[in-house]
Structures are given as structure tokens and as C-alpha cells.
Amino acid sequence: AQSVTQLGSHVSVSEGALVLLRCNYSSSVPPYLFWYVQYPNQGLQLLLKYTSAATLVKGINGFEAEFKKSETSFHLTKPSAHMSDAAEYFCAVRPPGNQFYFGTGTSLTVIP
């Protein structure tokens, strides 16, 4: 069975601080992994994706994520939070096949 667990439904950071959003997955085969961001009243926007190339993936808006097979993790980070980063973030896994499995999301608040 495939699943995605996002630890922490709400994360608050100060502006300029490190952002760390956690994602762990379970998959019977090596999956492909994604991070999406959702701003209020908008659809999901792809931040980055891991497709079995480099384990450190760089995305848009300064975000990056590292695939760690031994830990079955794909945590999202950004060195310095900006007010515009406040949004809902979703981790998703896609085992071979066409179906995506999304986590329940982490709401990021940036404190000025």
C-alpha cells in the first residue's frame, strides 16, 4: 500500500528563518515524489519533483528537498522564509502507474 505522512499539520516560522516541512512515504517500490503548494482559493502548483535522478532536488522559489531512501523521507526546506511562502504544502508520491497519493498537507505560517 502507498501512503504519505506529513508530520505537523501546522508549522510557524519567523520571517528569515529556516523552513522545514516533513514528509515520509511508504511504497512497495521506489516511488517518484513531489511537493506542491496551494495558495488560498487557488489550485496546486508544483514546487519540485524527484524522479530517481539526483537525490537533492531544487525547485522554484528557493525550495529544495532531499530524497533519503533509508529514511523513506522527502523533506522540504528553504533557508530563509519569506512572507509570501505562507500557504498549504502537500507532499505526493507516485509509484509506477498514473495515480498520485497526496499527504494531508502542512499549513505554513510566516511570522513577521
Partner 1 sequence: ETGVTQSPTHLIKTRGQQVTLRCSSQSGHNTVSWYQQALGQGPQFIFQYYREEENGRGNFPPRFSGLQFPNYSSELNVNALELDDSALYLCASSLVRDTLTDTQYFGPGTRLTVL
Sites of contact with partner 1 (CB under 8 A): 4, 9, 32, 36, 41-46, 49, 51, 90, 92, 94, 97-105
Q: Which is nearer to partner 1, 17 or 95 (CB)?
A: 95
Residue with cell 516541512: 21
Which residue type does 35 have? W
Q: 3-class SS at 53?
A: coil
Q: Which is nearer to partner 1, 64 or 101 (CB)?
A: 101
Q: Which is nearer to partner 1, 84 or 99 (CB)?
A: 99
CA distances from 40 to 15, 52, 68, 111 (A): 20, 31, 31, 17
Nearest distance, CB of residue 16 and partner 1, angstroms = 29
